[in-house]
Amino acid sequence: MNDKILLVEDELQIASFVSRGLQHEGYHVLTAPDGETGLELAFSELPDLIVLDVMLPGIDGLAVCRQIREAQLQTPILMLTAKDAVPDRVAGLEAGADDYLVKPFAFEELLARVRALGRRRAPIESDAPLEFADLTLNPTTRMAQRSGRTIELTAKEYDLLELFMRHPNQVLTRDQIYDRIWGYDFGGESNIIEVYIRYLRSKLEANDEPRLLHTVRGVGYALREA
């Protein structure tokens, strides 16, 4: 699967130069011309990386970054800051950005940062056990544990639970789940998600443990406590 990058940049020339370059490198690029659109896409598209300009009309990049982190979205964020604006860089990292790049920059510099952030995330995504409440999911063995009990999962059950574990406390829409787990759209009529959620709940709640996978009516599902 190609990495999906969200680029939030109001300067059209920079946006188009960066976007074309990244697409040429094989990335799938979404662009947003302002902070509001950037936030919307960050939550609806769940990109693998966000390149975020600080100076934006409306909600600025720092506020966008803070809102993303407050919502527990852990997507790596690369901030683009103005030349000589040292306070911007510090503020960016304090707001939850992972790295920054000072404008003007050469495309190769941006690409190097993008790749580094991808690498930084990769080992975490492949190996480290994911934890939420009393639930642990081990990507290496593809098994779950709840309050000491080992839970075997089928391939799709694992994929679905991993998606929720990587986006805790966040409502995932049915479309997002289809897109991420099945890679295509069922047309909205299928009840396959409901079926898998039911399987997962029966396994996760086998000892009457409290529910972690909650239905958000009319929207989708969320992994959260109560």
Q: Which stretches of the chain bind Ca ion, using CB under 5 A?
A: 10, 53, 55
Least distance between Ca ion and beta carbon 66 (Å): 17
- To Ca ion, the closest distance from the beta carbon of 54 in angstroms equals 7
Residue number of the CB closest to Ca ion reads 55
Nearer CB in complex with Ca ion: 53/98: 53
**Which is nearer to Ca ion, 10 or 162 (by Cβ)?**
10
Q: Nearer Cβ to Ca ion, position 80 or 200? A: 80
**With contact defined as beta carbons under 8 Å apart, do 211 and 201 qualify?**
yes
100 vs 158, beta carbon nearer Ca ion? 100
CB of 112 to Ca ion, least distance (A): 21
Measured from the CB of residue 85, what is the shortest distance to Ca ion in angstroms?
12
Tokens (6 digits) for 168: 């805790």
CB nearer Ca ion, residue 58 or residue 210: 58
- Shortest separation between residue 73's beta carbon and Ca ion, angstroms: 22
Q: Cα 94–99–105 angle (5° rounding)?
A: 125
Give the full edge-to-edge strand order of the sheet including 28-32.
28-32, 4-8, 49-53, 77-81, 99-102
